[in-house]
Structure 1
């Protein structure tokens, strides 16, 4: 028998065998079935949950100890992706990188966001995962703002003077934790049959909520009780360094990165003066009704200095633009019309 005839004789039985052991001669697509609805999923902390925008989902506004404050006005609900049928917001105020990743830790009555993502990925074809996390890890950004507020009340030296040297070290300790969380997201999707190219993973950074130059009459408990030096440090150093650490985490984990450090420029809390409707961040916000309830009192300031409804709308607009590109990195800046636009870095 010739070599060619021998090859044919061997190939046909192999083809027949493959048809017997498989329902289809073609490899299955990763994840759920071909006709599964497509999903956009958000993971992370208060910035992604929608803290500050109000309109919180039932069960996340203190009920049974759950203070995740997931808003129907969160940026993920303003992010438009062609072909997406359903949006899931798993983010939770106060979450850190460990809670986004694979963990047994529980916060605000909720466990691992990555594990909840896995359950969604079995039923829906996850097209995009957007993540905002890191500020509640070593940086403890909310605590820093609280310390700066106390410095104003007690008329002490700018809190930034004692924090500046430590801040960079905090960011450096945070970076590998965020990278690990992103790798956990990759892992759960891989275990559900997804390939890295079958979905988009984006890590976004944080916008500066405050800035110097605000009206003097609002640099107090009526709006933004922070010393000028602290306002400058938050905008010019703290947020920029935080973005730098997150950029590194995204790169190491193979995720795309969207920088929001400058996203709120000239729209920070109190910068609008008597036109608060021009601002994209909440001023000092007190839930006075909550102060009367012992279980809610310690959350009475929780919304302060977070993006508001207008801010989240703009963040969603920028993320939508970024997702239409294939760029590994981009940033959100105001365009000529005042709305945020995505400026992408060249690969």
Structure 2
């Protein structure tokens, strides 16, 4: 179980196409992070953020432009992939059609001239963990997508790697199968206790599986921490809007001085809410900021409530929860409730916001504005 460290890692591609004005842009830009022994790490971000490139550099499939990658304090920048003791499962299953499931799992071990008795012993241990023990004599063509991905992962871990890398392993599966296999990957990780890194663009996947999450955008690490810390304390507006389903409400507001303190005043809307006192030393009258608040921290007020009246733009009933959407100027505000009350567009309610759960972001940089006191 290694400790993996990325130290100021860069990856640059030379784009020399005639029509492109961008040359030597960085796919990964000064990335540093540490994965402790036995941790499950998620690398999360939108398409093109550099997450798969990072995984491929760790695996040795991409050359590093700058920086160092270390496993157990050993720099592996120039080691061949076969010498890094890494198991890698791609999003494409890439199983050999003429071979049985057993032979697919055994393929890499046979290439290393490992004794057949040892191979059989390893497969007998791995197959039940991935629930493929009844599929060993079948051919890949007869398997479902979920079964193929289990075989793909079994082929990676049968090598007994120091580090397991998963490149969007659930992206080709339907919703129900994604849930099933997500649970199995979590169980598998606990069983083999191997340091694991998963690359995904699905924030629910990363939140449910990972001990820590690295969120990337445009090749740059935005935040690295536990799922709870990232959810509760996003470092910038991008992270705040990327984590959470539905995502955090992010609205442009102006700070207004009032008799009771400061108010958040929404553009082109009568809606206003108190500014928590912890922000008093970092805001001023007329200041424009981006306000962030989770849909679960917005509430329907009672008739006697002091909340602002607002009409419902969209109402969604989703079984155990209902989502109410309100137009605030040119933006939308979403509320989640479990109350079994049904509304229709145009209904007017009183809206309350748990102001102590609000987040402020610099309107120009997007960085979080930190309160001086809690």
**Is the radius of gyration larger for structure 1 or structure 2?**
2
- Which structure dedicates a bigger proportion of its chain to strand? 2
Greater RCO between the two (CA within 8 Å, min separation 6)? 1
Q: Provide TM-score, normalisation by structure 2.
A: 0.22
- Which structure dedicates a bigger proportion of its chain to helix? 1
